[in-house]
Amino acid sequence: MASFHYRVLDTNGEVQTGMLDALDSASASAELHRRGWVPIELSVGAKTLSMRLNEPVQLFGQPNDRDIFSFLRDLARLLKAGLALDDGLKLLVGMQSKDIFVRILEDVHTEIRRGESLAAALSRHKDYFSIQVIASIQAGESAGKLAAALDTVATTMERSLSFRERLRSALIYPAILMIMVAATFVLVITFVIPQFGPLFEGNEDKLPGVTQFVMGLAGVFTEYWLIISVFFAGLVMWGVAVWHNPRLRGVVLENICKLPYMQAWILMPAIVRFTRTLGVCVQSGLALDKAIAMAVDTVKIAHVEVELARVRVMVRRGELLSGAIKNIVWFPALTVQFVKVGEQSGNLGDMLTESATILSQDYESRLEKALEVFSPVMTIVMGGIVALLVGSVLLGIMSINDVAL
C-alpha cells in the first residue's frame, strides 16, 4: 500500500485536497471516483505545490493535539452511553469550531456511512491521527471493543499532552534566556568590543590573554560576518531538511544514540510507544503477529524499527516475545521481565501496558529533574559568557592604565 495525496473536484464543484492509501495510482483514482469526486492530481508521498496552494489557509484553524484528544474522549463517552458511531460522529462534527477539523470529521463521517471502519476512515488523515491512535482503534474494532479502545487512547493522549505541556512550560525560561544571551553576545562582540580597538592599538602585547582572545574573536566576527551568517543559516536549513526527511533523521538519530548516555534519552519515547501500542492491541484480542506489526509502525527511528521488525519475524517462527526482545541491548530489562510474567499468566496485554506506564513515568520524572538542573546551569553558563566579554574589556583597560603609569 502507498499513500497518495490528491487534489479533486468534489460534488459541489469545489477543489479539495487530502490523502488516501491505495495499491497504485489506478486504485487511488478509482477510489476517488467511487466517492463522487473528479481527480485533478495524484501524488505519491509528498504534496505538490498546487496541492499546498489549494489547502485552506487559517492561522489558528489547524486542529492541534488537544482537539484530537477531545474528539477521541468525547466519542468514547458517546459510544459508552449507547449512541451509534454514525450518530456520535454527526454530533461531534457540529461541536467543532475549526473549519479544517470540521472538514476532516465530515470526511470521516462520510466514509463510515459508506461502510468503512473508523480506523480506515481516520487513516486517510494521518497528518492529524497518529499511527498509534489508528492501530489502537483498529484493534478495538476487531475485538468489538471500540469504546474501550477509544477511552484507552484518549487517556494515553491526555497523559502525554499533560507531560508535553509541563515540559514546554519548563523550557520557556531557558529558551528565552538563551535567545537573550545569544543576542547580547552578538551585539557585544560585533558592535561594542570593536569600539575599544583604537584604545588598545599599539599595546596588544601588554593585554591579558583573555582580552586578546576576545578582541581576536570580535575581529573574526566583524570581518567574516557574512560567511558566519551563511554558515548558521545553512545549519538551520540542514536541520529542517533532516527533520522532514525520515531517512536522514534516522541516520542522525542512530549516530546520536552511539554517544554515551544519549541512547536511553533518545530511544525511550519510541520504546514506550511500541510497548503501549502492542499492549493495547493484545488487550483488544488482536493476534500477536499483527499487533507487533502495528506497534512497529508507531516507531519513527529507522534502526529501531529494523530491530523490532526482526522481533516480529522471530515470533512468527514460534519464539516467545520475551525471548525475541531480550537480545535487543537497548530494550529495558523491566519490560522483558513483565513480558515473561504476562506470557506465563496469560495477561500479556495488561503487563505490556503496565510496563509502558512505568517506563513513561520514570522517563518523565528523570526528564523533569534534568530540566530542574538545566535551568540554573544555563543561567550560570550564560551569565559567565557575558561576564567574560565585559570582564575582558575591563581587564584590558586596567592593563593599559598600568602601562601608562
Q: Answer whether 190's CB lies under 8 Å from 222's CB.
A: yes
pLDDT of res. 341: 92
How far apart are the C-alpha atoms of 319 and 321, rounded to whole Å?
Answer: 6
Burial class (CB in 10 A: 0-12, 13-18, 19+), 49: exposed
pTM, two decimals, is: 0.68
CA 36 to chain centre: 35
Calpha distance 8→101 (Å, rounded): 19
CA-nearest of 248, 45, 79 to 152 is 79
Distance CA(175)–CA(172), nearest Å, equals: 5
- Dist. CA 191–CA 134, nearest whole Å: 55
Predicted confidence at residue 404, as pLDDT, reads 46
Helices and strands (H and E) in the chain: how many: 18, 3
- Rounded CA gap, 355 and 118, in Å? 28
pLDDT at 405: 44
Cell digits of residue 341:
510474567
CATH of domain 145-405: 1.20.81.30
**CA torsion through residues 214, 219, 225, 230, sign:** negative
pLDDT of 204: 67
pLDDT at 60: 53
How far from 324 is each of 161, 170, 307, 314, CA to CA, in Å? 32, 38, 10, 6
Length of the chain: 405
Per-residue pLDDT tens digits of the chain, which is 405 residues long: 667 777 787 776 677 777 777 777 888 788 878 877 888 888 776 666 666 665 555 545 678 888 898 899 999 999 988 888 888 888 888 888 787 888 888 888 888 888 888 988 888 887 788 777 887 788 788 778 888 888 888 887 887 787 777 777 777 877 887 788 788 788 878 887 888 777 777 776 777 888 888 888 888 888 888 898 899 899 989 888 887 777 777 788 778 877 777 777 888 888 888 888 888 778 767 788 888 888 888 787 888 888 888 898 999 888 899 888 988 888 888 889 999 999 998 888 889 988 988 988 888 888 888 878 877 887 787 788 878 888 887 887 777 766 444
Which one-letter amino acid corresponds to residue 316? R
Q: What is the DSSP letter of 329?
A: T
Return d(Cα 166, Cα 240) in angstroms, integer: 25
Distance CA 268, CA 5 (A): 32
Which residue type does 113 have? R
Q: Which cell numbers hold the place of 82?
A: 449507547
pLDDT computed for residue 9 by the predictor: 77
Task: Give the helix/strand (H/E) hosting 5.
Answer: strand 2-9
Q: Any idea of the CA torsion for 309, 323, 274, 138, to the nearest 10 degrees? A: 80
Element (H, E) at 25: helix 25-34
| Separation of alpha carbons 93 and 317, rounded Å | 45
Q: Which pLDDT score is estimated for 207?
A: 77
**HEC assignment per residue over 348-402:** HHHHHHHHHHHHHHHHHHHHHHHHHHHHHHHHHHHHHHHHHHHHHHHHHHHHHHH
pLDDT at 166: 75
Q: For the sheet with 2-9, list strands across it.
A: 15-22, 2-9, 38-44
Domain ranges of the chain: 2-50, 65-129, 145-405
Cα 112 to Cα 94: distance, rounded to the nearest angstrom: 16
Residue 332 φ/ψ, nearest 5 degrees: -60, 135
